[in-house]
């Protein structure tokens, strides 16, 4: 099977390529220069030339809460454009299998946890990442509408919980929470005051899964697309507070670091725990616990930044 992975150098894409099961497939892993998803004609021509049997759409304009708040326009426009160009071109060219990566931020901000797929669009979104959320909802619905119109087109969207791990974007201004926390703690450990500044109260809860586990789910279920609903959650089924994640990282780096909670900064949603009933029906569960995953992520970050 010829499989196209968009965003193959990002967090999910890199883990898909690194996963041992990827060796069973003929992978297409173009750079953004080779496959410019912002350009409809170039996207169409690439797909027409290479004719993949399956597309795993991981590419996107991504970032943490600060980046989303600063520039919602880019998160909406770029992600809608890339997704629309890719999905519409795939449909027009008769490519019948697409796995589209959505995000748990598409759920309304004030609904009961765990979050069930039928609650999407039931209420208002969390304003701190509204632009990105709307783009992901657009792509998810586009895939759903195509599959309903043409049942032999297996266009499915996965809604993973928050992710972390090797190949993450370790950046204090635009990275996701765990990656930013790891870099922040490692830098604090090198500083003189040994203090870690945490946004908000530290009490909100988040579900984080090791990214290689998401890659494992995808490769293990390549042939189960017919069994999947149009969109489904993929996660751990449990969560921790932001404080818990920081304390786990701090314990592995230096237990003497002091923690300061900056309550002038937003917490975001109080909880984002996914209902993984559909995932369980497929008989899959993540393999990496938090301690193992944090160890690997810290090692990767230390090597990348020579810390």
User: Cα separation of 23 and 126, whole Å?
Assistant: 39
DSSP characters over 137-169: HHHHHHHHHHHHH-TTSEEEEEEE-EEESTT--
Dihedral (CA of 175, 265, 104, 144) sign: negative
- Show the DSSP H helices in the chain as ranges: 11-18, 40-50, 65-70, 72-92, 130-149, 177-190, 211-220, 242-253, 277-281, 290-305
Q: Which of 46, 91, 107, 132 is catalytic?
A: 132
Q: How far is CA 45 from the centre of its chain?
A: 27
- Does 210 qualify as catalytic in the annotation? no
**Cβ neighbours of 297 (radius 10 Å):** 24
Single out the residue of 169, 183, 167, 235 nearest to residue 207, CA to CA.
Answer: 235
Please list the residues that pair with 154 across neighbouring strands.
Answer: 97
Q: Are 8 and 30 a contacting pair, CB within 8 Å?
A: yes
Q: Please give the structure tokens belonging to residue 93.
A: 């060219």
Phi-psi map region of 145: left, alpha, beta (phi>0 left; psi -120 to 50 alpha): alpha
Please list the residues that pair with 261 across neighbouring strands.
Answer: 198
Q: Give catalytic residues, as residue numbers.
A: 132
């Amino acid at each position: 099977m010829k499989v196209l992975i968009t965003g193959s150098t990002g967090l999910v894409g890199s883990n898909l390529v690194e996963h041992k099961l990827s060796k069973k497939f003929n992978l297409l892993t173009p750079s953004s220069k080779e496959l410019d998803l912002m350009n409809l004609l170039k996207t169409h021509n690439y797909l027409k030339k290479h004719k993949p049997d399956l597309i795993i759409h991981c590419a996107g304009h991504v970032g943490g809460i600060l980046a989303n708040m600063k520039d919602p326009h880019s998160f909406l426009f770029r992600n809608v454009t890339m997704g629309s160009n890719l999905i519409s071109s795939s449909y027009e060219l008769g490519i019948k299998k697409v796995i589209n990566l959505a995000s748990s931020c598409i759920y309304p901000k004030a609904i009961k946890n765990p979050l069930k797929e039928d609650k999407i669009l039931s209420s208002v979104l969390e304003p701190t990442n509204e632009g990105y959320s709307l783009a992901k909802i657009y792509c998810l619905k586009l895939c759903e509408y195509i599959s309903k119109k043409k049942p032999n087109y297996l266009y499915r969207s996965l809604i993973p919980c928050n992710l972390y791990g090797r190949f993450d974007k370790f950046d204090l201004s635009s990275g996701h929470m765990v990656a930013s926390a790891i870099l922040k703690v490692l830098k604090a450990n090198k500083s003189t005051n040994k203090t870690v500044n945490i946004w908000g109260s530290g009490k909100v809860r988040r579900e984080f899964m090791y990214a290689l586990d998401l890659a494992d789910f995808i490769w293990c279920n390549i042939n189960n697309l017919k069994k999947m609903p149009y969109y489904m959650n993929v996660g751990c089924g449990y969560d921790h507070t932001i404080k818990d994640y920081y304390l786990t990282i701090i314990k592995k780096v230096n237990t003497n670091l002091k923690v300061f909670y900056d309550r002038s900064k937003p917490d975001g949603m109080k909880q984002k725990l996914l209902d993984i009933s559909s995932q369980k029906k497929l008989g899959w569960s993540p393999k990496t616990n938090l301690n193992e995953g944090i160890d690997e992520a810290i090692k990767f970050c230390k090597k990348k930044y020579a810390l």
